[in-house]
């Protein structure tokens, strides 16, 4: 079977790359679907409502996490330029995460009134962390795409969905905190795996970052 797969989808081939990425995404979705009946018995609809608001906010803010510079990482032919785009993405992410933290600290209550979600107040402090982790993961994902490390991307997606659901089930007594915290920790673990998998290519050319 392995020989047949290697023959039909040789390593480095487009079809194999697409299959790996689709397989990783599909696998992560299967985990979420398979565990959803359990989670719906552990949490109330209002708990999921709080999670939905949190995820929606992160989804909207995550679009500009690195000011979209990460999209340009796979484009340069020269690695020297690519590492500088990566550095620019990281700097943008750190700056925006700091700005978001200050806004939440100063205007958190006003923000909750604006979105009409006062129940999210106890978990608002997790927003900057989730924002930073999403942006960091997206940046490293495009770096991995540049080096065609599709297997790493697939593994991180499966790790994130698996760790998230396990933590959410294990911490059900904590209510929405476990739902949101499980998701953030899942993001953290997938980010760490992505960072460890990418560090050798980053370290090899990090000296070429321009001042």
Q: What is the pLDDT of residues 16-45, one digit of tens each?
A: 666 776 777 788 888 888 999 999 999 999
Residue 6 is predicted with a pLDDT of 43
Residue bearing the bigger pLDDT, 203 or 157: 157
What are 44's two structure tokens? 């109330």
Contact, 62 vs 193, CB < 8 A?
no
Mean model confidence pLDDT for the chain: 88
What is each CA distance from 133 to 15, 61, 126, 181, in whole angstroms? 30, 12, 11, 13
DSSP category for residue 43? S
Average pLDDT over residues 71-90: 92
Lowest mean pLDDT among 18-27, 60-69, 85-94: 18-27
pLDDT of amino acid 201: 83
In angstroms, rounded to a whole number, what is the distance separating the alpha carbons of residues 83 and 95?
18
Percent of the chain with pLDDT over 90: 68
């Amino acid at each position: 079977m392995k020989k047949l797969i290697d023959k039909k989808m040789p390593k480095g081939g487009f079809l194999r790359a697409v299959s790996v990425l689709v397989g990783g995404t599909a696998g992560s979705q299967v985990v979420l679907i398979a565990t959803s009946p359990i989670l719906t018995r552990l949490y109330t609809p209002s708990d999921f409502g709080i999670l939905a608001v949190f995820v929606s906010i992160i989804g909207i803010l995550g679009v500009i996490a690195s000011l979209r510079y990460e999209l340009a990482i796979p484009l340069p032919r020269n690695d020297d330029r690519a590492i500088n785009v990566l550095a620019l993405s990281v700097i943008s992410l750190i700056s925006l995460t700091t700005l978001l933290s200050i806004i939440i600290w100063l205007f958190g209550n006003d923000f909750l009134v604006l979105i009409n979600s006062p129940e999210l107040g106890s978990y608002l402090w997790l927003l900057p962390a989730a924002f930073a982790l999403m942006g960091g993961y997206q940046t490293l994902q495009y770096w991995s795409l540049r080096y065609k490390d599709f297997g790493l991307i697939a593994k991180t997606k499966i790790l994130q969905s698996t760790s998230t659901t396990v933590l959410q089930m294990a911490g059900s007594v904590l209510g929405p905190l476990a739902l949101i915290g499980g998701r953030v920790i899942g993001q953290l673990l997938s980010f760490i795996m992505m960072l460890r998998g990418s560090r050798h290519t980053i370290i090899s050319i990090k000296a070429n970052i321009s001042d």
